[in-house]
Amino acid sequence: MTGTINKKRIAIFGSTGSIGTQALEVIEANAELFSVEILTAYNNEELLIKQALKFQPNVVVIGNDKKYSKVKEALAASDIKVFGGEKALEEAASMDIYDLMLAAIVGFAGLRPTLKAIENGKMIALANKETLVVAGDIVMQKAVDNRVPLIPVDSEHSAIFQCLVGETRNRIEKIILTASGGPFLGKKPNFLVNVKRDHALQHPNWNMGAKITIDSATLMNKGLEMIEAKWLFNLEPEQVQVVIHPQSIVHSMVVFEDGSIKSQMGLPDMKLPIQYAMAFPQRIPNKLPRYNFKKPNTLTFEEPDIKTFRNLTLATTALFKGGNLPCILNAANEIAVFAFLRNRLGFLDMTDLVERTMNKMPFIKNPTLEEYFESDGEARTFAASLIHM
Protein backbone atom coordinates (compact mmCIF):
# COMPACT_ATOMS: atom_id res chain seq x y z
CA MET A 1 0.00 0.00 0.00
CA THR A 2 1.44 3.31 -1.05
CA GLY A 3 -1.44 5.29 0.33
CA THR A 4 -1.73 7.20 -2.94
CA ILE A 5 -3.89 4.63 -4.74
CA ASN A 6 -7.21 6.38 -4.20
CA LYS A 7 -6.10 9.95 -4.50
CA LYS A 8 -7.73 12.01 -7.22
CA ARG A 9 -4.91 13.10 -9.54
CA ILE A 10 -5.33 16.78 -10.40
CA ALA A 11 -4.02 18.76 -13.38
CA ILE A 12 -4.17 22.51 -12.75
CA PHE A 13 -4.10 24.52 -15.96
CA GLY A 14 -3.39 28.09 -14.91
CA SER A 15 -1.88 27.19 -11.53
CA THR A 16 -0.31 30.61 -10.89
CA GLY A 17 -3.60 32.52 -11.15
CA SER A 18 -6.15 33.45 -8.53
CA ILE A 19 -8.14 30.20 -9.00
CA GLY A 20 -5.02 28.06 -9.46
CA THR A 21 -3.32 29.22 -6.26
CA GLN A 22 -6.51 28.78 -4.24
CA ALA A 23 -6.90 25.27 -5.65
CA LEU A 24 -3.40 24.45 -4.45
CA GLU A 25 -4.38 25.66 -0.97
CA VAL A 26 -7.35 23.29 -1.06
CA ILE A 27 -5.10 20.43 -2.17
CA GLU A 28 -2.56 21.21 0.55
CA ALA A 29 -5.31 21.11 3.17
CA ASN A 30 -6.58 17.77 1.78
CA ALA A 31 -3.38 15.99 0.84
CA GLU A 32 -4.98 12.60 1.59
CA LEU A 33 -7.58 13.19 -1.15
CA PHE A 34 -5.64 14.85 -3.96
CA SER A 35 -2.28 14.68 -5.69
CA VAL A 36 -0.93 17.27 -8.14
CA GLU A 37 0.11 15.78 -11.50
CA ILE A 38 0.29 18.77 -13.88
CA LEU A 39 0.91 22.46 -13.26
CA THR A 40 0.85 25.06 -16.05
CA ALA A 41 1.39 28.80 -16.28
CA TYR A 42 2.05 31.34 -19.00
CA ASN A 43 4.38 34.05 -17.71
CA ASN A 44 4.92 33.69 -13.99
CA GLU A 45 7.82 31.23 -14.05
CA GLU A 46 8.99 32.18 -10.54
CA LEU A 47 5.74 31.06 -8.93
CA LEU A 48 5.43 28.03 -11.20
CA ILE A 49 8.87 26.83 -10.12
CA LYS A 50 8.03 27.38 -6.46
CA GLN A 51 4.77 25.45 -6.83
CA ALA A 52 6.51 22.62 -8.67
CA LEU A 53 9.19 22.24 -5.99
CA LYS A 54 6.54 22.16 -3.30
CA PHE A 55 3.93 19.88 -4.92
CA GLN A 56 6.26 17.68 -7.01
CA PRO A 57 3.98 17.20 -10.03
CA ASN A 58 4.70 14.76 -12.82
CA VAL A 59 4.67 17.47 -15.50
CA VAL A 60 5.07 21.25 -15.65
CA VAL A 61 4.29 23.42 -18.68
CA ILE A 62 5.31 27.05 -19.16
CA GLY A 63 3.19 28.48 -22.00
CA ASN A 64 5.62 31.26 -22.85
CA ASP A 65 8.46 29.58 -24.77
CA LYS A 66 10.97 32.25 -23.78
CA LYS A 67 10.80 31.15 -20.17
CA TYR A 68 11.26 27.44 -20.82
CA SER A 69 15.01 27.19 -20.17
CA LYS A 70 14.70 29.01 -16.86
CA VAL A 71 12.03 26.59 -15.61
CA LYS A 72 13.90 23.59 -17.00
CA GLU A 73 17.09 24.62 -15.22
CA ALA A 74 15.38 25.32 -11.90
CA LEU A 75 13.79 21.85 -11.89
CA ALA A 76 16.76 19.96 -13.36
CA ALA A 77 17.58 18.25 -10.08
CA SER A 78 14.04 16.81 -9.76
CA ASP A 79 12.29 14.18 -11.90
CA ILE A 80 9.59 16.66 -12.95
CA LYS A 81 9.20 16.76 -16.73
CA VAL A 82 9.23 20.30 -18.10
CA PHE A 83 7.67 21.45 -21.39
CA GLY A 84 7.34 24.87 -23.02
CA GLY A 85 5.07 26.57 -25.54
CA GLU A 86 1.35 26.70 -26.23
CA LYS A 87 1.24 23.38 -28.09
CA ALA A 88 2.70 21.72 -24.99
CA LEU A 89 -0.40 22.78 -23.03
CA GLU A 90 -2.52 20.65 -25.36
CA GLU A 91 -0.04 17.79 -25.23
CA ALA A 92 -0.06 17.79 -21.45
CA ALA A 93 -3.87 17.82 -21.46
CA SER A 94 -3.76 14.69 -23.65
CA MET A 95 -1.55 12.75 -21.22
CA ASP A 96 -2.99 9.85 -19.27
CA ILE A 97 -1.50 10.88 -15.95
CA TYR A 98 -4.41 12.64 -14.26
CA ASP A 99 -8.10 12.22 -13.40
CA LEU A 100 -9.43 15.77 -13.27
CA MET A 101 -8.43 18.98 -15.02
CA LEU A 102 -9.03 22.23 -13.17
CA ALA A 103 -9.46 24.54 -16.18
CA ALA A 104 -8.24 27.81 -14.66
CA ILE A 105 -6.51 29.50 -17.58
CA VAL A 106 -8.04 32.91 -18.29
CA GLY A 107 -9.68 33.71 -21.62
CA PHE A 108 -9.84 32.04 -25.04
CA ALA A 109 -6.40 30.47 -24.37
CA GLY A 110 -8.14 27.94 -22.11
CA LEU A 111 -10.31 26.50 -24.87
CA ARG A 112 -7.87 24.22 -26.70
CA PRO A 113 -6.33 22.46 -23.67
CA THR A 114 -9.82 21.95 -22.20
CA LEU A 115 -11.06 20.40 -25.45
CA LYS A 116 -8.07 18.06 -25.41
CA ALA A 117 -8.83 17.00 -21.84
CA ILE A 118 -12.44 16.25 -22.78
CA GLU A 119 -11.34 14.22 -25.82
CA ASN A 120 -9.02 12.41 -23.44
CA GLY A 121 -12.03 11.50 -21.25
CA LYS A 122 -10.94 13.57 -18.27
CA MET A 123 -13.36 15.08 -15.80
CA ILE A 124 -13.32 18.90 -15.90
CA ALA A 125 -13.66 21.37 -13.03
CA LEU A 126 -14.41 24.42 -15.16
CA ALA A 127 -13.38 27.88 -14.00
CA ASN A 128 -12.58 29.14 -17.52
CA LYS A 129 -16.01 30.45 -18.54
CA GLU A 130 -14.68 31.80 -21.86
CA THR A 131 -14.42 28.19 -23.07
CA LEU A 132 -18.21 27.89 -23.02
CA VAL A 133 -18.84 31.43 -24.25
CA VAL A 134 -16.70 30.85 -27.34
CA ALA A 135 -17.75 27.34 -28.37
CA GLY A 136 -20.33 26.11 -25.85
CA ASP A 137 -22.21 23.88 -28.29
CA ILE A 138 -19.09 22.01 -29.39
CA VAL A 139 -17.63 21.73 -25.88
CA MET A 140 -20.87 20.37 -24.41
CA GLN A 141 -21.36 17.92 -27.29
CA LYS A 142 -17.81 16.63 -26.88
CA ALA A 143 -18.40 16.23 -23.15
CA VAL A 144 -21.51 14.13 -23.85
CA ASP A 145 -19.73 12.06 -26.52
CA ASN A 146 -16.82 11.31 -24.18
CA ARG A 147 -19.03 10.92 -21.07
CA VAL A 148 -17.07 13.65 -19.34
CA PRO A 149 -18.66 15.46 -16.39
CA LEU A 150 -18.20 19.25 -16.49
CA ILE A 151 -18.39 20.57 -12.94
CA PRO A 152 -18.65 24.36 -12.73
CA VAL A 153 -16.25 26.32 -10.52
CA ASP A 154 -17.71 29.75 -11.23
CA SER A 155 -19.53 30.49 -7.96
CA GLU A 156 -22.93 31.23 -9.53
CA HIS A 157 -22.86 28.09 -11.63
CA SER A 158 -21.60 26.00 -8.76
CA ALA A 159 -24.59 27.32 -6.79
CA ILE A 160 -27.02 26.31 -9.53
CA PHE A 161 -25.30 22.95 -9.93
CA GLN A 162 -25.66 22.34 -6.18
CA CYS A 163 -29.34 23.37 -6.26
CA LEU A 164 -29.93 20.82 -9.03
CA VAL A 165 -28.53 17.82 -7.17
CA GLY A 166 -31.44 15.39 -6.84
CA GLU A 167 -33.59 17.36 -9.32
CA THR A 168 -32.63 15.64 -12.58
CA ARG A 169 -36.23 14.79 -13.48
CA ASN A 170 -37.62 18.21 -12.61
CA ARG A 171 -37.88 20.97 -15.16
CA ILE A 172 -36.24 24.31 -14.45
CA GLU A 173 -38.49 27.33 -14.98
CA LYS A 174 -35.59 29.74 -14.82
CA ILE A 175 -32.32 30.44 -13.12
CA ILE A 176 -31.42 33.69 -11.40
CA LEU A 177 -27.76 34.63 -11.52
CA THR A 178 -26.76 37.00 -8.76
CA ALA A 179 -24.26 39.79 -9.47
CA SER A 180 -22.49 41.92 -6.89
CA GLY A 181 -22.71 44.90 -9.23
CA GLY A 182 -18.98 45.48 -8.86
CA PRO A 183 -17.24 48.61 -7.56
CA PHE A 184 -19.35 51.01 -9.66
CA LEU A 185 -22.83 49.89 -8.64
CA GLY A 186 -25.19 52.88 -8.80
CA LYS A 187 -22.77 54.98 -10.84
CA LYS A 188 -23.81 56.69 -14.08
CA PRO A 189 -21.93 57.21 -17.38
CA ASN A 190 -20.80 60.72 -16.40
CA PHE A 191 -18.83 59.08 -13.56
CA LEU A 192 -17.72 55.96 -15.44
CA VAL A 193 -16.22 57.92 -18.31
CA ASN A 194 -13.33 58.95 -16.03
CA VAL A 195 -12.70 55.60 -14.34
CA LYS A 196 -9.08 54.39 -14.50
CA ARG A 197 -7.65 50.88 -14.18
CA ASP A 198 -6.52 51.09 -10.54
CA HIS A 199 -10.00 52.06 -9.40
CA ALA A 200 -11.67 49.39 -11.54
CA LEU A 201 -9.33 46.77 -10.09
CA GLN A 202 -10.81 47.27 -6.59
CA HIS A 203 -13.62 44.72 -6.28
CA PRO A 204 -15.75 45.01 -3.10
CA ASN A 205 -16.31 41.27 -2.40
CA TRP A 206 -13.91 39.09 -4.39
CA ASN A 207 -10.16 39.07 -4.92
CA MET A 208 -9.65 37.78 -8.48
CA GLY A 209 -7.40 37.96 -11.54
CA ALA A 210 -7.20 41.29 -13.41
CA LYS A 211 -9.34 40.33 -16.42
CA ILE A 212 -12.33 39.02 -14.47
CA THR A 213 -12.09 41.96 -12.05
CA ILE A 214 -12.49 44.42 -14.93
CA ASP A 215 -15.26 42.24 -16.39
CA SER A 216 -17.02 42.46 -13.02
CA ALA A 217 -16.74 46.26 -13.01
CA THR A 218 -18.26 46.50 -16.52
CA LEU A 219 -20.80 43.68 -15.85
CA MET A 220 -19.42 41.84 -18.88
CA ASN A 221 -18.61 39.06 -16.41
CA LYS A 222 -22.32 38.56 -15.73
CA GLY A 223 -23.01 38.64 -19.46
CA LEU A 224 -20.44 35.90 -20.05
CA GLU A 225 -21.98 33.96 -17.16
CA MET A 226 -25.45 34.09 -18.75
CA ILE A 227 -24.02 32.38 -21.82
CA GLU A 228 -22.02 29.96 -19.66
CA ALA A 229 -25.22 29.03 -17.79
CA LYS A 230 -27.17 28.43 -20.99
CA TRP A 231 -24.68 25.77 -22.06
CA LEU A 232 -24.00 24.18 -18.68
CA PHE A 233 -27.65 23.69 -17.82
CA ASN A 234 -29.10 23.34 -21.33
CA LEU A 235 -31.40 26.37 -21.01
CA GLU A 236 -33.27 28.61 -23.42
CA PRO A 237 -32.05 32.23 -23.36
CA GLU A 238 -35.39 33.33 -21.81
CA GLN A 239 -34.71 31.14 -18.77
CA VAL A 240 -31.61 33.09 -17.71
CA GLN A 241 -32.14 36.15 -15.48
CA VAL A 242 -29.73 38.45 -13.65
CA VAL A 243 -30.34 40.21 -10.35
CA ILE A 244 -28.00 42.54 -8.46
CA HIS A 245 -27.20 41.31 -4.94
CA PRO A 246 -24.39 43.50 -3.56
CA GLN A 247 -23.61 41.33 -0.50
CA SER A 248 -22.66 38.22 -2.54
CA ILE A 249 -24.13 35.78 -0.01
CA VAL A 250 -26.80 34.17 -2.22
CA HIS A 251 -24.61 32.76 -4.97
CA SER A 252 -27.52 32.11 -7.39
CA MET A 253 -30.98 30.54 -7.50
CA VAL A 254 -33.10 28.06 -9.42
CA VAL A 255 -36.86 28.56 -9.86
CA PHE A 256 -38.70 25.27 -10.43
CA GLU A 257 -42.03 24.72 -12.18
CA ASP A 258 -43.97 24.79 -8.92
CA GLY A 259 -42.61 28.26 -8.11
CA SER A 260 -40.27 26.88 -5.48
CA ILE A 261 -36.91 28.65 -5.39
CA LYS A 262 -33.68 27.01 -4.24
CA SER A 263 -30.52 28.97 -3.55
CA GLN A 264 -27.04 28.12 -2.40
CA MET A 265 -25.52 30.55 0.10
CA GLY A 266 -22.34 31.23 1.97
CA LEU A 267 -19.62 33.80 2.45
CA PRO A 268 -17.93 34.76 -0.81
CA ASP A 269 -14.83 32.55 -0.99
CA MET A 270 -13.81 30.80 -4.21
CA LYS A 271 -12.22 27.96 -2.24
CA LEU A 272 -15.74 26.67 -1.62
CA PRO A 273 -16.78 26.12 -5.24
CA ILE A 274 -13.22 25.01 -6.07
CA GLN A 275 -13.21 22.28 -3.43
CA TYR A 276 -16.78 21.29 -4.25
CA ALA A 277 -15.86 20.74 -7.92
CA MET A 278 -12.65 18.87 -7.10
CA ALA A 279 -14.22 16.55 -4.53
CA PHE A 280 -17.60 16.11 -6.26
CA PRO A 281 -19.80 14.23 -5.45
CA GLN A 282 -18.34 14.38 -1.95
CA ARG A 283 -18.35 17.43 0.31
CA ILE A 284 -15.20 17.90 2.34
CA PRO A 285 -15.02 19.66 5.71
CA ASN A 286 -13.05 22.88 6.09
CA LYS A 287 -12.35 25.61 8.61
CA LEU A 288 -13.43 28.55 6.44
CA PRO A 289 -15.53 31.15 8.28
CA ARG A 290 -19.31 30.60 8.16
CA TYR A 291 -21.97 33.18 7.32
CA ASN A 292 -23.61 34.34 10.53
CA PHE A 293 -27.33 35.19 10.33
CA LYS A 294 -27.22 36.80 13.79
CA LYS A 295 -24.82 39.48 12.67
CA PRO A 296 -27.05 42.28 11.37
CA ASN A 297 -26.71 42.26 7.62
CA THR A 298 -29.45 42.96 5.12
CA LEU A 299 -29.53 40.94 1.94
CA THR A 300 -30.82 43.08 -0.91
CA PHE A 301 -31.79 42.41 -4.52
CA GLU A 302 -32.37 44.86 -7.36
CA GLU A 303 -32.63 45.13 -11.13
CA PRO A 304 -29.37 45.70 -13.02
CA ASP A 305 -28.99 49.13 -14.64
CA ILE A 306 -28.65 47.96 -18.24
CA LYS A 307 -28.79 51.51 -19.61
CA THR A 308 -25.51 52.31 -17.87
CA PHE A 309 -23.91 48.85 -18.01
CA ARG A 310 -24.61 48.19 -21.68
CA ASN A 311 -22.33 45.15 -21.74
CA LEU A 312 -25.23 43.21 -20.24
CA THR A 313 -27.40 44.17 -23.21
CA LEU A 314 -24.67 43.21 -25.69
CA ALA A 315 -24.21 39.84 -23.99
CA THR A 316 -27.97 39.29 -23.95
CA THR A 317 -28.03 39.92 -27.71
CA ALA A 318 -25.22 37.37 -28.15
CA LEU A 319 -27.03 34.90 -25.88
CA PHE A 320 -30.25 35.12 -27.92
CA LYS A 321 -28.67 35.25 -31.36
CA GLY A 322 -26.11 32.52 -30.68
CA GLY A 323 -23.89 31.26 -33.54
CA ASN A 324 -20.47 32.91 -33.53
CA LEU A 325 -21.74 36.12 -31.88
CA PRO A 326 -20.75 35.15 -28.30
CA CYS A 327 -17.31 34.20 -29.65
CA ILE A 328 -17.00 37.64 -31.31
CA LEU A 329 -18.20 39.39 -28.16
CA ASN A 330 -15.63 37.51 -26.10
CA ALA A 331 -12.74 38.22 -28.47
CA ALA A 332 -13.49 41.94 -28.67
CA ASN A 333 -13.89 42.08 -24.91
CA GLU A 334 -10.51 40.41 -24.32
CA ILE A 335 -8.88 43.04 -26.55
CA ALA A 336 -10.82 45.83 -24.83
CA VAL A 337 -9.89 44.73 -21.30
CA PHE A 338 -6.26 44.22 -22.30
CA ALA A 339 -6.14 47.78 -23.69
CA PHE A 340 -7.97 49.26 -20.68
CA LEU A 341 -5.48 47.61 -18.31
CA ARG A 342 -2.70 49.39 -20.25
CA ASN A 343 -4.51 52.74 -20.09
CA ARG A 344 -5.05 52.73 -23.85
CA LEU A 345 -8.83 52.65 -23.76
CA GLY A 346 -11.41 54.37 -21.56
CA PHE A 347 -13.84 52.49 -19.33
CA LEU A 348 -16.93 53.15 -21.46
CA ASP A 349 -14.95 52.74 -24.68
CA MET A 350 -14.62 49.03 -23.86
CA THR A 351 -18.34 48.59 -24.49
CA ASP A 352 -18.22 50.60 -27.72
CA LEU A 353 -15.37 48.46 -28.97
CA VAL A 354 -17.30 45.25 -28.32
CA GLU A 355 -20.44 46.65 -29.93
CA ARG A 356 -18.67 47.86 -33.06
CA THR A 357 -16.92 44.51 -33.45
CA MET A 358 -20.18 42.60 -33.03
CA ASN A 359 -21.81 44.79 -35.70
CA LYS A 360 -18.91 44.40 -38.12
CA MET A 361 -18.07 40.68 -38.11
CA PRO A 362 -19.98 38.28 -40.39
CA PHE A 363 -22.53 36.17 -38.56
CA ILE A 364 -22.32 32.36 -38.77
CA LYS A 365 -25.31 30.44 -37.45
CA ASN A 366 -23.71 27.02 -36.90
CA PRO A 367 -19.92 27.45 -36.85
CA THR A 368 -17.46 24.60 -36.91
CA LEU A 369 -14.65 24.64 -34.37
CA GLU A 370 -12.33 26.02 -37.06
CA GLU A 371 -14.84 28.78 -37.77
CA TYR A 372 -14.93 29.68 -34.08
CA PHE A 373 -11.13 29.97 -34.11
CA GLU A 374 -11.32 32.14 -37.24
CA SER A 375 -14.08 34.33 -35.82
CA ASP A 376 -12.00 34.82 -32.68
CA GLY A 377 -8.93 35.82 -34.69
CA GLU A 378 -10.79 38.16 -37.04
CA ALA A 379 -12.71 39.83 -34.21
CA ARG A 380 -9.44 40.41 -32.32
CA THR A 381 -7.77 41.95 -35.37
CA PHE A 382 -10.73 44.23 -36.04
CA ALA A 383 -11.13 45.27 -32.40
CA ALA A 384 -7.40 46.03 -32.12
CA SER A 385 -7.56 48.14 -35.29
CA LEU A 386 -10.07 50.43 -33.57
CA ILE A 387 -7.66 51.26 -30.76
CA HIS A 388 -5.31 54.15 -31.43
CA MET A 389 -2.05 53.03 -29.85
Say how many residues touch ligand NAD, by CB under 6 A.
29
Q: Which of 34, 42, 231, 382 binds ligand NAD (CB under 6 A)?
A: 42
Taking the least distance from each CB to ligand NAD, the nearer of 58 and 333 is 333
Q: Which of 7, 112, 122, 129 binds ligand NAD (CB under 6 A)?
A: 129
CB nearer to ligand NAD: give 212 or 277: 212
Smallest separation (angstroms) from ligand NAD to the CB of 200: 15
Q: Tell which one of 154, 228, 269, 376 touches ligand NAD (CB under 6 A).
A: 154
**Residue 315 makes contact with ligand NAD by CB under 6 A:** no
If one asks whether residue 154 binds Mg ion (CB under 5 A), the answer comes out as yes
Cβ proximity to Mg ion, 270 vs 331, nearer residue: 270
What does the angle CA 122 – CA 102 – CA 338 come to, to the nearest 5 degrees?
130
- Pick the piece of the chain touching Mg ion (CB under 5 A) from 67-75, 150-158, 167-175, 265-273: 150-158
State the binding string over 238-277 for ligand NAD (x if CB under 6 A, else -): --------------------------------x-------
Minimum gap (Å) between residue 282 Cβ and ligand NAD:
22
Q: Are strands 172-179 and 8-13 parallel, antiparallel or unpaired?
A: unpaired
Question: What part of residues 76-95 is at the interface with ligand NAD (CB under 6 A)?
Answer: 89
Q: Does the protein bind Mg ion through residue 228 (CB under 5 A)?
A: no
Residue 128 touching ligand NAD (CB under 6 A)? yes
Contact residues for ligand NAD, defined by CB under 6 A: 14-20, 41-44, 63, 89, 104-106, 109, 127-130, 154, 206, 208-212, 270
